Amino acid sequence: MLNSRRFMRTGLLLGEEGLRRLHEASVMVVGLGAVGGYALEGLARAGVGRLILVDFDTFDETNINRQILALTSTIGKKKTDVAAQRVKEINPDCVVETKDVFVNTDTIEDLLREPVDFVVDAIDALNPKCCLMQMLQEKGIPFISSMGAALKSDPSFIRLGALSKTKNCGLAKFIRKRLKKRGVDINKITCVSSEEQVNLPETAIMESEDKTQESGRIRNTLGSLPTITAIFGLTIANAVIKQLTANK
């Protein structure tokens, strides 16, 4: 049963019906890093009753500057395990499921086999992100995607809107092109992005030796602020909460 004292202040704003809808909702968070971790935090504290947590990675010391789940004590631990434990500390009544999988064409069907009310797309790898967004739209599952939060520093430029309307976001630009080729209607995809036109110092991008499971290619390490990634994640969580509790 939903703890009335634990979620009292949310109930004062959303009412008993709003709390009930959140308690009965199932939300999947794909990617538990900088943006996904904060999105999860907002959803858990709002009282979402079932959370499916998806990530294949473990925490590294370099995550600590911007990821709410990354601590000295969690370095080397699975992101899904750490996230599940935190959710239970926030709301012991929440049903938590974890899936330690890398999203791609081989895993996406099984991942979305069970029905969910909403999906948070906080993946930062291009191909898996496009694969997930395409499948979610084809299945008619409501979702919100995060675009690029790295290299941004001004929160006043953060926007929630259609993917087709994004500006000054390199990740969104690549995603739009790829999804159009796949026949995906980008006008119907909601995302969080920043319209900030960045003027980067030379130190903002560093060549990285880390290789992704996605392709084996070397990826650049991009400078980022904890404040911006947090606002991205909480903006997504807020939008999900509002949509789950909206009068239908």
pLDDT reported for residue 220: 74
216 pLDDT exceeds 70?
Answer: no
218, pLDDT greater than 80: no
Tokens 């290299």 locate to 151
Model pLDDT for residues 110-139, shown as the tens digit of each residue: 999 999 999 999 998 999 999 999 999 999
In a domain, 191, yes or no: no
pLDDT at residue 219 in the model: 62
Q: Work out the percent of the chain whose per-residue pLDDT is above 70.
A: 90
Residue 41 included in any domain: yes
Residue 64 lies in a domain: yes
Q: In a 10 Å sphere around its CB, with 0-12 CB exposed, 13-18 middle and 19+ buried, how is residue 169 labelled?
A: buried
Q: Report the CATH number that the domain containing residue 229 is assigned in CATH.
A: 3.40.50.720
How much of the chain exceeds pLDDT 90, in percent? 84
Q: Indicate whether 23 belongs to any domain.
A: yes
**pTM, 2 dp:** 0.92
Alpha carbon distances (Å) from 179 to 152, 167, 184, 188: 24, 17, 5, 12
Structure confidence at residue 248 (pLDDT): 64
Which pLDDT score is estimated for 222? 79
Q: Residue 182 in contact with residue 220, Cβ under 8 Å?
A: no
203 falls within a domain = no
**Any domain includes 209:** no
- Domain of residue 44: give its range: 8-148+214-245
Number of domains in the chain: 1
Taking residues 230-240, report their average pLDDT.
Answer: 98
Which two structure tokens, joined as six digits, stand for 212?
């992704």
Helices (H), 118-210: 126-139, 170-181
Task: Tell whether 161 is covered by a domain.
Answer: no
pLDDT confidence of residue 176: 96
Closest by alpha carbon to 139, among 101, 166, 113? 113
